[in-house]
Each structure stands twice: as C-alpha cells, then as structure tokens.
Structure 1
Amino acid sequence: MTRRQRVEGAAMSGDPYKGAIVKLMREFSHSHNPSTVFSDFVEICALAISNRVDTLQVEPREKRYLEIVAKYKTEEVQRFAAMFAQLQLCYRERVEMLGDPGIGDVHDSGLGDVLGELFMALELSNDRAGQFFTPHSISMLMAMMTVGDGASIREQGFVTMQEPACGAGGMVVAAAQAMHHAGLNYPETLHATCVDVDPCCVHMAYVQLSLLGIPAIVVHGNTISLKVWNVWYTPAHVFVGWGLRLRRRRDARADTAATVSDDGEAQERDDLHPAQAPVASTIPASSESCMVNGDAACGCFDDVGAGDVTVALEESHIGKAVASAVSIVDLFEESTVGASSMKPDRTIFDAIEQMTLF
C-alpha cells in the first residue's frame, strides 16, 4: 500500500460516500491534473447551486460552467455529476444523524469538513501554496467552548459570524454543529460571512455551507486590500430571509447609536451608519414566486413583481451612489472603495454590511 493510499484510507474513515468520490477522482488521473480536477469539481458544484437561487448572476455563471465542462469529455462531465451526487448523499446522511436540536451527543465526525478532508487526503495542499485545513475535531473544540449552552445566543435572537480566511468553511460548520447540540436551530440563529482569497476555497466553503443549510455570504476577496471578485449566497441565506433580518439589526443598531446635538437635532455616528439616505433599486427576475418566502414579509416592495429581488443599498460616504452598478461584484467594488478611502480601519465586513441583498 502506497503512502497516498494510506492517507486516503485514513481520511475516508469508513465513509462510503467519500470513498466513492476519491475513486471517481482517481479515474481522472490519466488525463488531467488532480488539483485542476478538484478545483473544477467544486466550482461546478457551486455554480449549479448558485444558479438555482441567485438569478442576478445566472448568465455569467452559466457561461463559466460551459467554459469548465468544455475541457472534459462527456463521460467525464457525467463523472462530475456522480461525484456531486455522492457529496449530497454524504451530507444528507450526516444531517439526519444529528437528529433534532439539543438531542444526542457530540460525535467526533458530526457534520464534518468533508471537502477539506478530501482536499488533504488527495494531497492537493502541496499544489496550492502549502494550504492546510484545521482538523474538524479542533474546530469542534473551539466551537463548543465558544457556544457553550447557547444562552447568550438565545438572548440575542441570532448571531453573525465573520471568517476573514474561511478555507473550506470548517469553522463555520463546527459552529453550526455546536449550536445544534446546544438546542439551537442554526438556520434561524446563525449567519456567516466568509472571505477567502483562493477561489477553490471559496467554492468549497459555498458548497458545504449550502448543502448543510447554513445561511452565509461567501466572498472571493482579499480581506487586507478589501478587493472583491465574486459573491455567493447560500440557499439558506435566501430562503430564510436573512437579507431582511440583517438589515433590520443594522438599522436598529444605527438608531441606538444616534446622539442628540446641542440644538436638539438627531445625528448619526458616521462609523456605524452611512451619512447618505438609502437608495432602493429593484431588479426583476424570472421566477413565479418570491425567492425568500413568497409574500410581502420578505422585504420586497408591494409594486415589485413576484420573484423580483429588492436590493437596498446605502450610498457611500464620498457621495457616490452604488445603485447604478450592473452586478453584485460592482456593488461590492463601489462599497469597498468608498469605505477604504474614507476610513483606513474599515474592514471588508463593514463594506459587506452596507448592503442587503435578497
């Protein structure tokens, strides 16, 4: 048995679905680089999920999908589909094994970081700048210590999590599992904003969080420079209506931060709330029902057609409105430029918070 086979066998840990994915991956080895195959696989999965929920990005992402599959034969594309099916089955079984929130013990594997484990088992880290992902057991230990019995989260209603270098999203998965064992329903009580500079990591994180029903915004960007290249919204972010929930909390905090000047006029702290009034833009989509919950409660305006997506944006501090941007990436570009030029200590998460999409 070779060293690689020993590493792969240890990573599989008796999981038939992970074993099936590795076996299918090996069938590409004669004609394609394994690192490229894995990257293309997770990107195809991400594109397939995104195009079901993010109507604003369908055209460019469908074009990107066609670019990827053009490199492969028909039977190889079908192999990708089989790998995706195995990944979905793997996570469906793991979610079912968790049971209801607050019931059962914390298992070593639990939800797990399946794609991160596969990435390490296939020894792809050596091909990608020496990347190494935190073992799930360590992530779980950190998450359990942070979440505790979940009392503080219950008091707040929900918590938001920010990951500046998310990797495959393992820490977010661990946080969701820890909240589940604390008796919390994580699709309703946890929202994550994840950033990574590596597109492969972004796609891995997006796929895993999507399949596990974790509400999240996954950003391909540079946390240090605030550069943003792409933005991905998990289905749970859309269907549970997290855009509206996050906007309401932001507005509530802005109201709390308001101070009264000497002449009695209310003023806002500009580090917590933009100085300009919000600009609303409605972008039509081709769907039969609202993408969040099908009624006015989702935050869509009454005069917007069914399936339309309402995008509420704040103008930047330099007075440059971002509502005229033509894509989600443009919106983030405008927001990050405005934030970084006025406040050097602002982060990429501040820029993301300025916008509420879906």
Structure 2
Amino acid sequence: MSRAAKRRFEGSASEPHKVLLSLFKQFGHRYSVHEVFSDFVEIAALSISNSVDRHHAEAREKRYKEIVRRYERVDRERFPQMFGALVQTFEDLVQGWVPNGDGLADVLGQTYMMLELGNDKAGQFFTPYPVSRLMARMNIGDGAPFVQRDGFVTLSEPACGAGGMVIACADALHDAGHNYQQTMHATCIDIDPRCVHMTYVQLALLHIPAIVIHGNALSVEAWSTWFTPAHVVGGWGEKLRFRRRAEAMRELLQSAKRVNETEVGDRAADEAFRADGTPIPAAALRVLVPDDQLALF
C-alpha cells in the first residue's frame, strides 16, 4: 500500500480499527505478522463456526487448540482483544451507516493491505471497497426483480478474497431499502484458506447468510465448507432447496413450451396443398422425401 493510501487510512480509520492494527504489531519478532494474521482469522473462524456447526465442531476445536498452543500466554491473550477490536470496528460502521452515504467496509481486506501482507508476485490485491461498492450497484441494482420473484438474491463469488464484493452487495441492497439479512444469500469460494477465513469472519459478523467454501472453482474441488450463523439460524438450507425446485419447475415448463412451439412450427412447415387447395397429409410427404434428405420443394 502506498504512503498516500496509508495516510488516508490513518486519517479516516476508526479507533477500534487502529487498535486492531496496533495489536498485530505487538507480537514481536518471534512471530511474523503474516503468521499472526493467518492464525487470528483462522481461530476467529473456528470459534464462530463451532457455535453453529456441530458436524465439524470436534475437528475444528482440535485445530483451534493446535494453533493457540504455539503462542505464549501473553500473546494468546491478545487474540480475544483483537477479535473485540474487529467486532467494535464493524459495530461502529453499522451504527454510522447512512443510506447512499457512508456504508460498510472490507475491514480485514484493508487490514491485510495496511500490514503489507499482499502478494504482489501472485497478483494478490484486495479491491478498494469504494470500487467494490460501485461494481455492486452496477451489477445488482436495487435487486427488486430477484426479490419480487424469489424473495431473495443469490450471489456466487468464485474468488472471494476477503469477501469485499459480497459486503458491497449487502451495502447496495441496504441502500435500496432491503434487509440484506433476509433478501440475500452468497456462496463464496477461494483457493487460499486465509481468504476463506477472512470472508467467513466478516460475513458472520455482519450476519450475512452465506456458505464459504475452501476450494477451486475452476477444477470444481472443495476441501472444507463453512456456514455462517445467519445461514444456519435463518433456515437458508431449506430456502435454497425450495428455490432449486422452483427453478427446475420453471425450466420444465419453459422446455415444454419450447417443444410445443417447435411442434406447431413443424406442422406448419409440413403442410402442402393440392391443386384444389386441400392440404396433403404430412405422412404422405414423408413417403416422397426421405427423412435424411434435404427437400427443396
């Protein structure tokens, strides 16, 4: 991140966000900032997941203990402080939310870039949130057609990063007068586990219904799945199943309509007339013209 961008951030960041950044830098030289950040977002994701996902709870609790065991007690105690600062950062954003004005933010994406953890060689950059917000408004509009038809909008983000685009879509729906917690569901995928954890934590704290998948969208592989609390308590599994059934029914009806229109067209094309104006049956024509031969008359 450039010096100018850092100065802008320092001038506009909330106090809890500044506290969060300072806590990352208090671990000393024993742990790299990169390691601390990755461990923080993972244990935060594990803690949130275990409050709603009992199926994966045992394995994720074991993983949680493996991570925290690597840190001294004084360092372990910083993690809940960091999580508290993150929660307060989002709380301040929501409290100051003005429609079509100041909105939400990709807090962890900003934090990641402020700590200079981006991988330039891999082309890893987090889209500035104002750009994400503009793109969301251009793509989703006010969401009215989708909400009126299905009751909610579904999003698919195959390279989710920190979840900034999904947050921006929630922002756009809020500006349009919709409650995004009831009218939006996201499916997010990323090949980087750190990005998966960042996305999961942010969407969970904003109570966005979502499924976050650690996987490869190109090879259609999935290694772990994370359900946000909003997805679980909102009964979104059943809502999505109902929508899939409705879409299948619509597709079936549309297919039947297309078949019917094709048959009507075929009948019209098959009709020929005798000299006295009476039609010649299509079956009689097929005797004269083999099915695999192009008829030019």
Counterpart residue number, 2:263: none
SS of residue in 1 equivalent to 2:55: helix
Counterpart residue number, 1:45: 44
Counterpart residue number, 1:113: 106
Counterpart residue number, 2:175: 181
Matched, 1:216 2:210: yes
Indicate if the aligned counterparts of 1:159 and 1:189 stay in contact, CA closer than 8 A: yes
SS of residue in 2 equivalent to 1:105: coil
Change (3 A) 1:28 1:260: closer
Counterpart residue number, 1:28: 27
Shift, 1:226, TM fit: 1.2
Q: Counterparts of 1:216-255 in structure 2 under 5 Å?
A: 216-255=210-249
Counterpart residue number, 2:115: 122
Distance in 1 (alpha carbons) for counterparts of 2:86 and 2:173: 23
Indicate if the aligned counterparts of 2:143 and 2:153 stay in contact, CA closer than 8 A: no
| Structure 1 residue ranges (4+ consecutive) displaced by more than 4 angstroms after TM superposition | 3-9, 259-262
Cα-to-partner distance string for 1:102-136 (whole Å, 9 max, x where unaligned): xx43234x210000000001000138834101100
Change (3 A) 1:15 1:155: same
Counterpart residue number, 1:14: 13
Structure 2 gap ranges (5+): 257-297
Counterpart residue number, 1:140: 133
Indicate if the aligned counterparts of 1:169 and 1:209 stay in contact, CA closer than 8 A: yes
Matched, 1:74 2:73: yes
Paired residues, what number? 254
SS of residue in 1 equivalent to 2:188: strand
Counterpart residue number, 1:97: 96
Shift, 1:261, TM fit: 11
Change (3 A) 1:39 1:254: same
The amino acid of 1:60's aligned partner reads A
Shift, 1:257, TM fit: 2.9
Identity of aligned residues (%): 51
Counterpart residue number, 2:162: 168
SS of residue in 1 equivalent to 2:133: helix
What TM-score, normalized by structure 2, do the two folds share? 0.80
The amino acid of 2:179's aligned partner reads N
Structure 1 gap ranges (5+): 99-103, 263-358
Indicate if the aligned counterparts of 2:142 and 2:172 stay in contact, CA closer than 8 A: no
Shift, 1:9, TM fit: 4.6
RMSD: 2.2
Change (3 A) 1:223 1:93: same
Change (3 A) 1:77 1:128: farther
Shift, 1:5, TM fit: 7.7
SS of residue in 2 equivalent to 1:134: coil
What TM-score, normalized by structure 1, do the two folds share? 0.67
Shift, 1:214, TM fit: 0.5
